[in-house]
Amino acid sequence: MNIQVLPHVFKKIGLFLFIAYPVGHFLLGFFDPIQEDGKSGFHPFWSEAIDVGALLGVIIYFISKEKVEDELIKQVRLESMSIAFLLSVGVLLLLSIALGGQSVDASLMFVLQLTLFLILYHYRKKSFSL
Amino acid sequence: MKNMIKVERARHDLTQANLAEKIQVSRQTIHAIEKGKFVPSTILALKMARFFNLKVEDLFILEEDD
């Protein structure tokens, strides 16, 4: 099954959205008119919009084609996904031990897994270049 | 498994990029196959053999430890 349906140019758009998330979140913090009860003064839509944008960015990146889409790149993609999954489970285990059985935020795990995937995919792809 | 792709490529006076273009894969894939880092699928092996007008077993050779 081929789920890479978007043209190659969408890779850059997806990556931009993903990187814009932490930067946007960081910048938003400076201008946040924090209320007396410590809650953000912004409408919840804005912080949510940034979160959704980042996840959307990874999805766009994931379903965009490489310049040349062949069996090597498919294998690299699958291997990176498997390693990212295993590493994130490892981190989850360590966090559970460190936090004494407290639950870990699911969205944090997703972001960790997706970030690991992007890093692994990038470096594994590079390792096949001259 | 070793392969004779580099030899055949030289015999046909082709660069990695030329061969990649002919069989519609990336240059990295040809490089990875030549270096033994990646074992191609049957389809790709057959495509390469057909391109060089050889049998698959003449292009890809099993070794003792395979």
Query: pTM score, two decimals?
Result: 0.78
pLDDT at B51 over 90: yes
Mean predicted confidence (pLDDT) in B32-47: 94
Report the chain A residue with the minimal C-alpha distance to residue B27: A129
- Cα gap A87→A116, rounded to integer Å: 8
Global ipTM: 0.85
Report the chain B residue with the minimal C-alpha distance to residue A72: B29
Which residues of chain B neighbour A68 with C-beta distances below 8 Å? 20, 24-26, 29
pLDDT in tens, A76-129: 999 999 999 999 999 888 888 888 877 777 777 887 888 899 899 989 988 887
List Cβ neighbours of A54 (8 Å cut-off, separation of 6 or more). Answer: A17, A18, A20, A21, A22, A111
- Cα gap A43→A47, rounded to integer Å: 8
Radius of gyration in angstroms for the set of CA atoms belonging to chain B, rounded to a whole number: 11
Burial class (CB in 10 A: 0-12, 13-18, 19+), A80: buried
Which residues of chain B neighbour A72 with C-beta distances below 8 Å? 25-26, 28-29, 32, 38
pLDDT in tens, A18-60: 888 778 777 777 776 666 666 666 666 666 666 777 788 888 9
Residue type, B59: L
User: Residue B20 and residue A130: Cβ atoms within 8 Å?
Assistant: no
